[in-house]
Amino acid sequence: MSKFFLEKYSTLDAYVPGEQPQDRKYLKLNTNESPYPPSLKVLDAAFKEASRLNLYSDPESKALTDALASSFGVGPENVLVTNGSDEALNFAFMAFCDSIVFPAVTYGFYPVIANLNGIPYREIPVTSDFRINVDDYIGIGDNIVIANPNAPTGICLSVSDIERIVAGNSGNIVIIDEAYVDFGAESVVPLTKKYDNLIVTQTFSKSRSLAGARLGFATASEELINDMKTIKDSINPYNVNRMTMAAGMAALADSEYYIANCREIEETRVYTVYALEDLGFEILPSKANFVFAKNPKISGGDLYRKLKDAGVLVRYFDKPGLTDFVRITIGTRSQMDTLIEKISEVLS
Ligand code: PMP
In a domain? residue 128: yes
Residue 27 is part of a domain; what is its CATH number? Answer: 3.90.1150.10
Same domain, 58 and 184: yes
Residue 22: Cβ-neighbour burial (10 angstroms; 0-12, 13-18, 19+)? exposed
Q: Give the residue whose CA is nearest to atom 7 of ligand 1.
A: 179
Longest dimension (CA), the chain: 58
From 195, 229, 255, give the residue that closes a domain: 255
Q: What percent of the chain has pLDDT over 90?
A: 95
Total structural domains within the chain? 2
In a domain? residue 187: yes
Same domain, 268 and 332: yes
Distance 4 CA to ligand 1 centre (A): 31
Same domain, 260 and 250: no
Same domain, 165 and 287: no
Same domain, 87 and 192: yes
Cβ–ligand 1 contact at 244 (below 6 Å):
no
Same domain, 266 and 278: yes
| Shortest-distance atom of ligand 1 to CA 216 | 16
Provide the domain limits for residue 277: 7-37+256-347
Instruction: Give residue 152's pLDDT band: very low, low, confident or very high (50, 70, 90).
Output: very high
- pLDDT for position 20: 82
Distance 74 CA to ligand 1 centre (A): 22
From 81, 177, 199, mutation site for ligand 1 pocket: most ligand atoms within 8 A of C-beta: 177
| Shortest-distance atom of ligand 1 to CA 211 | 15
Same domain, 150 and 243: yes
Same domain, 150 and 265: no
**d(Cα 254, Cα 252) in Å, to the nearest integer?**
5
**d(Cα 94, Cα 301) in Å, to the nearest integer?**
35
Mean pLDDT within 273-292: 98
From 255, 283, 312, give the residue that closes a domain: 255
Residue 81 is part of a domain; what is its CATH number? Answer: 3.40.640.10
Kindly report, residue by residue over 80-104, the tens digit of the pLDDT. 999 999 999 999 999 999 999 999 9
From 255, 277, 312, give the residue that closes a domain: 255
Question: How many Cα atoms within 13 Å fall on the side-chain side of residue 85?
Answer: 24
Cβ–ligand 1 contact at 272 (below 6 Å):
no
In a domain? residue 110: yes
Kindly report, residue by residue over 26-72, the tens digit of the pLDDT. 999 999 999 999 999 999 999 999 999 999 999 999 999 999 999 99
Position 170 pLDDT exceeds 90: yes
Cβ–ligand 1 contact at 281 (below 6 Å):
no
Same domain, 47 and 135: yes
Same domain, 212 and 338: no
Mean pLDDT within 286-299: 98
Distance 132 CA to ligand 1 centre (A): 19
Cβ–ligand 1 contact at 84 (below 6 Å):
yes
In a domain? residue 1: no
Same domain, 228 and 285: no
Instruction: Give residue 22's pLDDT band: very low, low, confident or very high (50, 70, 90).
Output: confident
| Shortest-distance atom of ligand 1 to CA 150 | 3
Same domain, 249 and 168: yes
Instruction: Give residue 135's pLDDT band: very low, low, confident or very high (50, 70, 90).
Output: very high
Distance 205 CA to ligand 1 centre (A): 8
In a domain? residue 53: yes
Cβ–ligand 1 contact at 147 (below 6 Å):
yes
In a domain? residue 2: no
In a domain? residue 332: yes
| Shortest-distance atom of ligand 1 to CA 17 | 8
Cβ–ligand 1 contact at 85 (below 6 Å):
yes
Distance 181 CA to ligand 1 centre (A): 11
